[in-house]
Amino acid sequence: MCGIIGYCGSNHATDILLDGLSKLEYRGYDSAGIALSQNEQRIETIKTTGKVQELRNKVMALAPKNSYCGIGHTRWATHGGVTETNAHPHSNGSVTLIHNGIIENYSEIALELAKVNKFPKSQTDTEIAAMLFSHLYNGNPLETIETACAKLEGAYAFCILFADHPNEIYCVRNASPLVAVENEFGSYIASDMTALIEYSKDYFIVPEHHVAKLTKNGIKLLNFAGNEVKPTMLHASWDADSAQKNGYAHFMLKEIHEQPDSLLTTIMPRIKNGVINFEEEQIPDSLFMNFSNIVITACGTAMNAGLVGKSLIEKVLRIPVSVEPASEFRYGDPIIDDKTLVMIISQSGETADSLAALHLAKERGSKTLAIVNVKGSSIARESDYVLYTHAGPEIAVASTKAFTVQMAALYLICGKIASVRNLLSQEQLHTFIEELSSLPKVIETALQLEPTLKEVSSMLSETSDCFFLGRGLDYPLACEGSLKLKEISYIHSEAYVAGELKHGPIALITDQVPVVAIVTNTITVPKMISNIREVKARGSKILVITDQDMSAYPDVADALIELPKTDELFTPFTISVAVQFLSYYVSLHRGLDVDQPRNLAKSVTVE
């Protein structure tokens, strides 16, 4: 997703903007640009396709006059191809702006502007917005912003420079994220705190339909009536280092290794005196008493965590759970009501589909519980209740530690429901909580599988197709392993319930199509072995990921990953580490950009 940075202060803006854009690269982008407010009512814009480093080189070459106020942007293309013309910032008349989001009615606005002979140069919705602001500009930025925003439909976070208001940045948002900090050197704004944490840990989220006016003397938060509003301050609990690689080759590898810590900080504060306790989260026990069914809605990896939650809750609590992709939930007229507990899972808390699903659930009267990693994010703020995961910033596009802590949150919720509804004996609950508490150590052990995964990854690194197979609680991990591989190695991979393969997809199996078989679901081991033999008979190479004793089946695996033993309810955590390392090393073998895979964004804040 697009990245936004803005600065006004006593230091040179250029380096602050470029450094900020570097920290926002993880959000995914394909072009970048900055605009610098110069005193003579002039705004200088420099932009380029490609990486932030290319923008930095261009800025060095052009050596713009020193400026103390400017905006910067990394563009993840939604409207129009990857071209310099389409890159932000976009200018029209006195207005220069950058934008994260999608203007849904930009075509209608373009037609209105065409009637007064105003035509865009680019293919973007953003330039249409710049033209609208410029067309409406009456010399008063606040009035203009209010008038323009009343005409805009869709998601936006704008940072706007008005040439006749030098050294001032005006920011406004609707759905798309904007956070702001200030310190003795000035005022800063960005899409997320990764770009600002080094300037201050104290920040606020720009409220929707308010204007944050940045000057070198600080930030004024104004409502559309022009009244100053006091921002709700938040404090980031992590530091700048957390958002850096700290010696790892890639953020993804660092974040895989951070899982013991992130599980510890997510699980342990919620277990007090041997019981699961959500008092600090202000989640009442009554929330878990009064529902008749659960719906989990999310996207991508977060949805795969939801699939684990479904298997777990239905297996342990015998309560029906359905899992809906948020993009389907929001348009699918879901069967939910005031007796439904809707859980929204999102690392960023800004995923547009998941946020829209939340809004629908609330409209239908369902109680909403969010599982979110980014504190103060939209989904966190707008849900009835939120159980934060404490993984710290996840920079790599491929989600790893956020996935395992999302699962941990679901295990905590499962344990809480069991306790509140007396669905497990005290002994069973104690064992469940013991297993949950031991996860950080178990994952520490699983991390020792890294060299083996690095070695076996060569099995997949040349293939163009593969399957991940699993049954029961292993199947959601087959989905997650397949997604990981797809998104960072670009190998076409499919996850299938193993029993389904013979009903068609086995036609795709050849000696060129390796299979990753996940085998920890005890009761179906013999069936999994049969399924593996079926594909092996057709020439496929088999990588088995298991915590079972496979000595009785020496003919089955071409490569074997032996997971540390856990209660079989908890194998999703050890399997996660294996498939994360597997996809990481396959991507590395293929010489790809592990942290910023093509076409992908870290947080999909558009539909």
Query: Could you list the residues that contact ligand AGP (CB under 6 A)?
Result: 299-302, 346-348, 351, 354, 397-399, 487, 603-604
Let me know the angle formed at the C-alpha of 496 by 492 and 497, rounded to the nearest 5 degrees. Answer: 170
Tell me if the bond preceding 505 is cis, omega within 30° of 0. no
| Set 2, 8, 414, 479: catalytic member | 2
- In sequence order, what E strands does 128-269 have? 154-162, 169-174, 179-183, 186-190, 202-205, 210-215, 218-223, 233-235
- Provide the 3-class DSSP secondary structure of residue 257: helix
Min dist. Cβ of residue 254 to ligand AGP (A): 15
Q: How far apart are CA 425 and CA 252, in angstroms?
A: 40
Q: How far apart are CA 266 and CA 395, in angstroms?
A: 18
CB-wise, 46 or 479, nearer to ligand AGP? Answer: 479
CB-wise, 266 or 301, nearer to ligand AGP? Answer: 301
CB-wise, 48 or 354, nearer to ligand AGP? Answer: 354
Residue whose C-beta lies closest to ligand AGP:
300
- Provide the 3-class DSSP secondary structure of residue 248: coil
Contact of 158 with 73, CB cutoff 8 Å: no
CB-wise, 13 or 579, nearer to ligand AGP? Answer: 579
Min dist. Cβ of residue 373 to ligand AGP (A): 8
Burial of 147 (0-12, 13-18, 19+ CB in 10 A): middle
Min dist. Cβ of residue 594 to ligand AGP (A): 12
Q: How far apart are CA 569 and CA 294, in angstroms?
A: 20
Q: How far apart are CA 101 and CA 129, in angstroms?
A: 11
Q: What is the β-pairing status of strands 271-272 and 275-276?
A: antiparallel
CB-wise, 186 or 597, nearer to ligand AGP? Answer: 597
Min dist. Cβ of residue 464 to ligand AGP (A): 21
Quick one: which of 158, 181, 229 has its CA closest to 376?
181
Min dist. Cβ of residue 574 to ligand AGP (A): 19
Which position has the token pair 């699918």? 332
Question: Among this protein's residues, is 479 annotated catalytic?
Answer: no
Contact of 406 with 304, CB cutoff 8 Å: no
Q: How far is CA 320 from CA 159, 173, 291, 309, 366, in A?
A: 45, 38, 11, 11, 16
Question: Among this protein's residues, is 159 annotated catalytic?
Answer: no
CB-wise, 49 or 354, nearer to ligand AGP? Answer: 354
Min dist. Cβ of residue 484 to ligand AGP (A): 6
CB-wise, 6 or 334, nearer to ligand AGP? Answer: 334
| Set 51, 310, 375, 602: catalytic member | 602
Question: Tokens at residue 421, please?
Answer: 């509804």
Numbers of helices and strands, H then E, in the chain: 20, 26
Residues annotated as catalytic are 2, 602
